[in-house]
Chain A
């Protein structure tokens, strides 16, 4: 079963705008990861945030984690057409398995 839900299910923005996606989960975690998937192919790891971290940056990506609310957000700044993809959050408990949400479909229009 899915861990939780991503919000929104789909997002359409103009190139240059920021995109924010939210993720909720249900159980205790060791870390939370975000992945990108292009055209139903393989997943690409974007960023990992540990349960004792509140915010993390990587290039144009900013991830926040609120363990009290069991939620995370992914912000992509200055979006590009190449950012068009599905984005998934996944929770991890010490490397045993990833539990994914249903994903957010992002479309960046040029």
Chain B
């Protein structure tokens, strides 16, 4: 049973560039959430997608945008990269309106370095 798959695992970009990160949710999950984890800190919620729409959004600027496809996979796009965007980006999937005791399933993350 495949868990959450994220690609790429590592990425180096230059300030001002744009980046796209990808996530395939766990089988049977239809909701995808994205988190940003800076070094030494806990993950921070970016946004959540369900039924191809953004349902919840954290305190992140519009430079951060996303998309969910009919097969429930998702992309995170970041425009005009800043040095401060360097972080581990985590994707988590879940059944919507989580009611099972299983918690969220996280991918291994994409390590983004902006130089």
The interface of chain A, by Cβ under 8 A from chain B, is 1-2, 33, 35, 40-45, 48, 88, 90, 92, 94-103
Contact = CB atoms under 8 A, between A and B. Distances in A.
B102 A98 contact: no
Nearest to A47: B103
B43 A43 contact: yes
Q: Which of B31, B42, B48, B94 has the most CB of A within 10 A?
A: B42
B66 interface: no
B31 A98 contact: no
A97 B106 contact: no
Contact of B33 (A97, A101, A102): A97
Contacts of B2: none
Interface residues of B, number: 34
B32 to A, nearest CB: 12
Interface string B70-108: 000000000000000000101010101111011111111
A99 to B, nearest CB: 7
B112 to A, nearest CB: 13
Nearest to A92: B98
Contact of A43 (B44, B99, B106): B106
Contacts of A99: 45
A95 B90 contact: no
A41 B90 CA distance: 9
Contacts of B33: 97-98
Given A92-B98, A94-B97, A102 B42 contact: yes
Given A88-B42, A100-B43, A102-B41, A94 B98 contact: yes
Contact of B107 (A42, A45, A102): A42
A4 to B, nearest CB: 10
A42 B42 contact: no
Contacts of A44: 106
Nearest to B48: A97
